């Protein structure tokens, strides 16, 4: 497997408190990796370690197959990032800010400034000073700055925070374009599941400094376990019939009234008919599926009974 970035058993201790604990993250080349977790879970700290802004207390970071050291300048040139609020020269225009950044980075290619401004949708901002930009425009300028050195990996910490629905949508579309057209690998953090779910190929869930899951969205969608939920007046009798007469074994009694059957391929109306034949009084019967939200919320909140 081709990994563009990995954390290997990374731990970070701040003033005696372990804020990141033994995290093993693997970001594949070309994917959008969604980094999901509540505020304070440790996302920013991990992103700072990946960009060499903070050193792990123990463990290692690997970027483009190389171990990250304090002098890994070449490796760091291959990535762009926005971590925490990006600083701009407020009185200067978008273009002037980007020109200054290029100069600072020793990167001289005027054409790229035009192209990047076009990519992020800031081409028509002219002389407008950044202080008159909306939050969404500033976010896009931050992205332009991260993109201007043509990175292979882009690390974005909560890039949609504070944006309105239109701005969120534009950002999301832009991430997909960067991934599909420019083949950039993205690591994007958020505390909002809905956002991660819509863009990510892989999701890493972090809680209390620990990576509690790292899974491809494809496999999660594939394992959306459907089940039949039924309610009966006498649930024990229904359970007996289901197990001994109908031969179904994969079920769970939820409460005194409700049973969930996980055996595949059951059609609710057929089950209903059969149960009635055995004299079971059914109150309700329906097909359901664990939603992604249920799946992730259990992880984020720390419910160990994860489906």
Ligand X SMILES: Nc1ncnc2c1ncn2[C@@H]1O[C@H](COP(=O)(O)OP(=O)(O)OP(=O)(O)O)[C@@H](O)[C@H]1O
154 touches 120 (CB < 8 A): no
51 binds ligand X (CB under 6 A): no
- Tell me: does residue 14 bind ligand X (CB under 6 A): yes
Beta bridge partners of 26: 6
Q: Any residues with CB less than 8 A from the CB of 15 and at least 6 apart, and which? A: none
Q: Which of 204, 205, 210, 190 is nearest to 19 (CA)?
A: 210
Question: Contact between 16 and ligand X (CB under 6 A)?
Answer: no
Residue 41 CB, shortest distance to ligand X, in Å, is: 4
Q: Which is nearer to ligand X, 158 or 280 (CB)?
A: 158
Q: Check binding of 45 to ligand X (CB under 6 A).
A: yes
Stretch that binds ligand X, among 33-41, 120-128, 134-142, 260-268 (CB under 6 A): 33-41
Among the listed ranges 32-40, 217-225, 279-287, 294-302, the one in contact with ligand X (CB under 6 A) is 32-40
CA-closest candidate to residue 150, choices 79, 217, 254, 204: 79
CB of 220 to ligand X, least distance (A): 21
Question: Residue 258: phi, psi to the nearest 5?
Answer: -125, 135
Which of 7, 32, 33, 42 lies at the binding interface for ligand X (CB under 6 A)? 42
Cβ distance to ligand X smaller for residue 43 or 95: 43
Q: How many residues bind ligand X (CB under 6 A)?
A: 12
43 binds ligand X (CB under 6 A): yes
> Which tokens go with 28?
């594949």
In angstroms, what is the minimal distance from the CB of 34 to ligand X?
Answer: 13
**Cα(215)–Cα(20) distance, integer angstroms:** 19
Residue number with CB closer to ligand X (50 or 137): 50
Choose, by CB under 6 A, the member of 44, 81, 119, 179 that binds ligand X: 44
Give, as ranges, the residues between 132 and 191 that touch ligand X (CB under 6 A): 158
Q: Which of residues 63-92 bind ligand X (CB under 6 A)?
A: none
Cβ neighbours for 179, distance < 8 A, ≥ 6 positions apart: 30, 31, 32, 185, 186
Backbone phi, then psi, for 35, in 5-degree steps?
A: -110, 105
* CA–CA distance, 81 with 157 (Å, rounded to integer): 8
Q: Read off the tokens for 16.
A: 């005696």
Structure tokens at 293: 């939200």
- Near ligand X by CB under 6 A: residue from 1, 2, 39, 104: 39
| Closest distance of CB 192 from ligand X, Å | 11
Q: State the residue number with the nearest CB to ligand X.
A: 44
The residue among 154 and 211 lying less far from ligand X, judged by its C-beta, is 211
Q: How far apart are CA 15 and CA 84, in angstroms?
A: 21
Which chain residues interact with ligand X by CB under 6 A?
14-15, 19, 37, 39-45, 158
């Amino acid at each position: 497997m081709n990994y563009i970035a990995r954390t290997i058993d990374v731990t970070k201790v701040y003033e005696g408190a372990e804020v990141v604990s033994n995290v093993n993250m693997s970001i594949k080349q070309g994917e959008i990796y969604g980094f999901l977790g509540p505020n304070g879970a440790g996302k920013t700290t991990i992103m700072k370690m990946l960009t060499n802004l903070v050193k792990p207390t123990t463990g290692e970071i690997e970027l483009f197959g190389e171990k990250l050291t304090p002098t890994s300048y070449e490796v760091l040139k291959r990535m762009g990032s926005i971590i925490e609020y990006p600083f701009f020269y407020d009185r200067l225009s978008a273009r002037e800010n980007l020109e200054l950044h290029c100069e600072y980075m020793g990167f001289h290619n005027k054409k790229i400034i035009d192209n990047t401004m076009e990519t992020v949708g800031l081409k028509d901002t002219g002389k407008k000073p950044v202080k008159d930009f909306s939050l969404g425009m500033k976010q896009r300028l931050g992205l332009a700055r991260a993109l201007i050195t043509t990175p292979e990996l882009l690390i974005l910490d909560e890039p949609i925070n504070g944006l309105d629905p239109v701005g969120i949508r534009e950002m999301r579309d832009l991430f997909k374009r960067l991934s599909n057209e420019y083949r950039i690998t993205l690591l994007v953090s958020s505390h909002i599941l809905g956002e991660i779910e819509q863009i990510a190929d892989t999701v890493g869930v972090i809680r209390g400094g620990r990576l509690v899951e790292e899974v491809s969205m494809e496999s999660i969608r594939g394992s959306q376990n459907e089940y039949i939920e039924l309610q009966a007046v006498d649930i024990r009798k229904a359970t007996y019939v289901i197990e001994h007469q109908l031969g179904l074994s994969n079920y769970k009694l939820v409460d005194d009234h409700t049973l969930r059957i996980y055996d595949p391929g059951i059609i609710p109306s057929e089950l209903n008919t059969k149960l009635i034949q055995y004299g079971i009084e059914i109150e309700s019967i329906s097909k359901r599926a664990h939603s992604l939200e249920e799946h992730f919320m259990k992880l984020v909140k720390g419910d160990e009974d994860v489906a």
